[in-house]
């Protein structure tokens, strides 16, 4: 052994000195089958040891013991072995070994175990063709066509191939890859006109490796290549139209409720004393007078719409206000048929309108006189419109003591409504009075009754001073009942203003005539303060309480402490003098003292008129 080793070492030394050595171990690089019928193996030689080296490939198949040598070293190039169909068996393991041999020795590679079916890698597809197609009435596209590699047998189904296509504009960096399945054509729709495109394909067996990308083909996309996708826009347009239609339908069907929900109806302004009828007729004078505006432009007094003055006249010249309903249909007044007992919501609405219609001038009250309950006889417009006194007498200045009505809810006075500012004052509305005037005998009793009822009603709801009112009412009633009792109250008896249930109606004593009859105005908005001003629920009422009846049948009125009001401070004062002027001779009649201020101050002090100022004959 020692000698053998020595010899080998000597031999190696000699070889090394010569630069010769056995070949290095070759290595099998890969084996590939392009068609599942043949395959090729390539190896990488090791060092050749400085000597010419032969390489041989041997293989053995599964289940066989025979070792074979490579049948073809040439077809696939150097360092390769090509296995033809004859030598290819699939679903069997091949054990392949490459031997390198030179003069010095040989070396063998590691055996490679392969099964042909797992090493399938086809060639790229062939005959790639590109064509831009622009069919009529259809979208244009690029048609890419190719063929499978020549050796592949797809027809019999032995080989199942899948393809991939990629394309890009010449200047782009990234490829756009599309999987084409088992088909050999592909259509591309989204292309930029005027660009040059590069296209490539590759393929893969159903279970195997992808081929390399095939040869590039390029094509120029014509500039008139339409790329707009109109279908999307059509869809969007149709969808928008449908949505709009649905919305329109929804609005149309439920428009009213929607609109009322979004935009609640704003109560329309109502001008107190506004007679649309007159407007139609074109009688501006009457209209203005109905509005109570003696002079135009309206003074500040005219804004006092909430003051209803109940004017009682005893002469037939008094014009009766037309029924409210007739006059102001537009205002939404539903006067005549209002049930005194029904407190519907629109009473306030109506009353507002009523108030607004009426001019601040208390004489405008004719409209306010449209007491629903009173207007059981709508056919008697005269009764309802008795209260348009002649301008002069109607002037606010001429008003005697008056009792401010609850302004806030004077507008509601057509309807007796518990929730509203009830007519707290025991004063009868002018309408009532007018009615009495118009038909003293017949209407009086009914009016009075109604007024009483209303007053009672209103007084019930009105806490403050209710009792006082009731008392007053009772007094009045007593006075009424004793028709013959008080000579000073003939008018009252006859023409006792009916206290309609309208909460806001207050009666202001306009004047006292010789017979001791009080001329009352429904006090709406004294001194022309904001008619629509909303008052404190209970505070806005101005009314004067009758504190007592004097021996000469003169009502002593006292301001109600609780009455709040809009400051109608000056008017009373203004009004007092004219009455004084008018009826100097009858000053002794009035025992009422006009409050100098006549203002309903914030305290709600009611101003009452100086009775002396009222002593003047009516008319």
Site residues (vs other proteins, CB under 8 A): 36-37, 62-63, 85, 88-93, 95, 111, 113, 115, 117, 153-158, 160, 206-207, 253-254
For residue 315, which of 440, 431, 400, 498 has the smallest C-alpha distance? 440
In this structure, is the dihedral angle defined by the CA atoms of residues 397, 400, 404 and 407, taken in order, positive or negative? negative
| Residue 63 or 135 with smaller CB distance to other proteins | 63
Nearest approach, Cβ of residue 206 and other proteins (Å)? 6
Min dist CB 62 to other proteins, Å, is 5
For other proteins, give the closer residue by CB, 38 or 348: 38
Please name which of 382, 380, 437 lies closest in space to residue 619, comparing C-alpha atoms: 437
Q: How far is the CB of 93 from other proteins (least distance, A)?
A: 6
Compute φ and ψ for 110, nearest 5 degrees. Answer: -70, 145
Cβ 177 to other proteins, closest distance in Å?
Answer: 21
- Residue nearer to other proteins on the CB measure, 158 or 235: 158
Query: Contact, 567 vs 573, CB < 8 A?
Result: no
Q: How far is the CB of 112 from other proteins (least distance, A)?
A: 10
> Judged by CB, which is closer to other proteins: 84, or 485?
84
Nearer to other proteins, 206 or 295 (CB): 206
Per-residue three-class SS string for 561-602: CCCCCCCCCHHHHHHHHHHHHHCHHHCCCCCCEECCCCCCCC
Q: Are 610 and 594 in contact (CB under 8 A)?
A: yes
Q: Given CA atoms 488, 552, 431, 278 in this order, what sign does their dihedral have? A: positive
Residue nearer to other proteins on the CB measure, 253 or 561: 253
206 vs 463 by CB, closer to other proteins? 206
Shortest CB 254 distance to other proteins, Å: 8
Bridging pattern class, strands 141-147 and 126-133: antiparallel
Minimum distance from residue 146 beta carbon to other proteins (Å): 17
- Write down the least CB distance from residue 156 to other proteins, Å: 5
For residue 597, CA distances in Å to 339, 401, 568, 610 come to: 38, 11, 9, 11
Nearer to other proteins by Cβ, of 62 and 341: the residue is 62
Token code pair at residue 430:
């002018």
Query: Token pair for residue 302?
Result: 């005219």
Helix %, strand %, coil % for the chain, to 5? 30, 20, 50
Nearest distance from C-beta of residue 81 to other proteins, angstroms: 18
C-alpha radius of gyration, the chain, whole number: 58
As a whole number of Å, the end-to-end CA separation of the chain is 167
- The CB-of-447 to other proteins minimum distance in angstroms stands at 47
Length of the chain in residues, anyone? 619
Nearest approach in angstroms of CB 159 to other proteins is: 9
* Mutual angle of helices 440-461 and 466-481, in 10-degree steps: 160
Minimum CB separation from other proteins for residue 138, in Å? Answer: 20
Q: Nearest approach, Cβ of 96 to other proteins (angstroms)?
A: 13
Nearer to other proteins, 116 or 455 (CB): 116
Tell me whether residue 6 or residue 242 sits nearer to other proteins (CB atom): 242
CB of 106 to other proteins, least distance (A): 22
Alpha-carbon distance of 439 to 376, in angstroms, equals 13
Residue among 180 and 605 whose Cβ is closer to other proteins: 180
- Nearer to other proteins by Cβ, of 90 and 567: the residue is 90
- The residue written with tokens 């990629």 in the block is 166
- The DSSP code for 524 is B
* Distance (Å, whole) CA 444 – CA 427: 15
Q: Which is nearer to other proteins, 153 or 229 (CB)?
A: 153
* Cβ contacts of 149-153, under 8 Å, gap ≥ 24: 149/34, 149/35, 149/122, 149/123, 149/124, 149/125, 149/203, 149/211, 150/123, 150/126, 151/34, 151/35, 151/37, 151/123, 152/34, 152/35, 152/122, 152/123, 153/35, 153/37
Q: Which backbone phi and psi does 375 adopt, to 5 degrees? A: -85, 40
Strand partners, 188: 142
Nearer to other proteins by Cβ, of 218 and 260: the residue is 260
Cβ neighbors of 210 (< 8 A, separation 6 or more) are 121, 164, 202, 203, 204
């Amino acid at each position: 052994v020692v000698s053998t080793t020595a010899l080998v070492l000597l031999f190696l030394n000699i070889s090394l000195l010569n630069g010769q050595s056995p070949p290095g171990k070759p290595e099998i690089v890969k084996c590939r089958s392009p068609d599942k019928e043949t395959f090729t193996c390539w190896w990488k030689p090791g060092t050749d040891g400085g000597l010419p080296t032969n390489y041989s490939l041997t293989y053995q198949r599964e289940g066989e013991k025979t070792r074979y040598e490579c049948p073809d070293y040439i077809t696939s190039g150097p360092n390769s072995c090509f296995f033809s169909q004859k030598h290819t068996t699939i679903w069997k393991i091949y054990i392949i070994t490459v031997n390198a041999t030179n003069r010095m020795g040989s070396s063998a590679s590691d055996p490679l175990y392969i099964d042909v079916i797992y090493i399938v890698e086809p060639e790229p597809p062939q005959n790639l063709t590109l064509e831009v197609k622009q069919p009529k009435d259809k979208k244009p596209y690029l048609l890419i066509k190719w063929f499978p590699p020549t050796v592949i047998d797809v027809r019999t189904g032995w080989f199942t191939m899948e393809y991939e296509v990629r394309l890009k504009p010449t200047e782009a960096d990234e490829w756009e890859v599309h999987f084409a399945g088992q088909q050999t054509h592909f259509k591309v729709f989204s292309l930029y006109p005027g660009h040059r495109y590069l296209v490539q394909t590759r393929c893969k067996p159903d279970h195997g490796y992808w081929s390399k990308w095939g040869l590039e083909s390029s094509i120029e996309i014509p500039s008139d290549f339409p790329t707009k996708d109109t279908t999307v826009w059509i869809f969007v347009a149709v969808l928008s139209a449908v949505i709009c239609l649905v919305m329109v339908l929804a609005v149309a069907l439920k428009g009213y409720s929607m609109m009322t929900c979004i935009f609640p109806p704003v109560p329309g302004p109502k001008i107190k004393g506004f007679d649309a009828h007159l407007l139609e007729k074109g009688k501006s004078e009457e209209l203005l007078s109905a509005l109570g505006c003696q002079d135009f432009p309206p003074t500040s007094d005219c804004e006092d719409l909430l003051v209803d003055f109940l004017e009682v006249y005893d002469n037939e010249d008094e014009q009766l206000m037309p029924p409210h309903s007739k006059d102001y249909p537009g205002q939404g007044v539903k006067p005549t048929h209002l049930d005194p007992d029904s407190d519907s919501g629109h009473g306030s609405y109506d009353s507002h309108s009523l108030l607004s219609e009426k001019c601040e001038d208390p004489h405008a009250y004719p409209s306010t006189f449209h007491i629903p309950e009173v207007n059981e006889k709508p056919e008697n417009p005269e009764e309802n419109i008795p209260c348009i006194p002649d301008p002069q007498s109607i002037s606010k200045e001429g008003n005697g003591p008056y009792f401010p009505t609850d302004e806030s809810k004077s507008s509601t006075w057509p309807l007796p409504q518990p929730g509203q500012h009830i007519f707290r004052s025991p004063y009868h509305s002018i309408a009532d009075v007018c009615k009495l005037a118009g038909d003293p005998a017949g209407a009086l009793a009914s009016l009075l009754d109604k007024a009483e009822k209303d007053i009672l009603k209103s007084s019930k709801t009105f806490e403050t001073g209710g009792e006082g009112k009731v008392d007053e009412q009772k007094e009045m009633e007593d006075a009424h009942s004793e028709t013959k009792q008080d000579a000073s109250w003939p008018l009252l008896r006859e023409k006792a203003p009916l206290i309609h249930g309208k909460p806001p109606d207050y009666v202001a004593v306009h004047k006292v005539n010789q017979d001791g009859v009080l001329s009352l105005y429904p006090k709406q908005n004294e001194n022309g303060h904001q008619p629509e001003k909303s008052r404190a629920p209970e505070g806005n009422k101005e009314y004067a309480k009758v504190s007592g009846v004097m021996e000469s049948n003169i009502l002593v009125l006292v301001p109600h402490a609780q009455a709040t009001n809009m400051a109608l401070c000056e008017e009373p004062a203004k009004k007092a003098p004219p009455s004084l002027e008018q009826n100097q001779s009858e000053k002794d009649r009035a025992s009422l003292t006009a409050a100098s201020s006549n203002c309903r101050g914030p305290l709600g002090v009611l101003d009452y008129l100086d009775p002396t100022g009222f002593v003047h004959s009516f008319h």
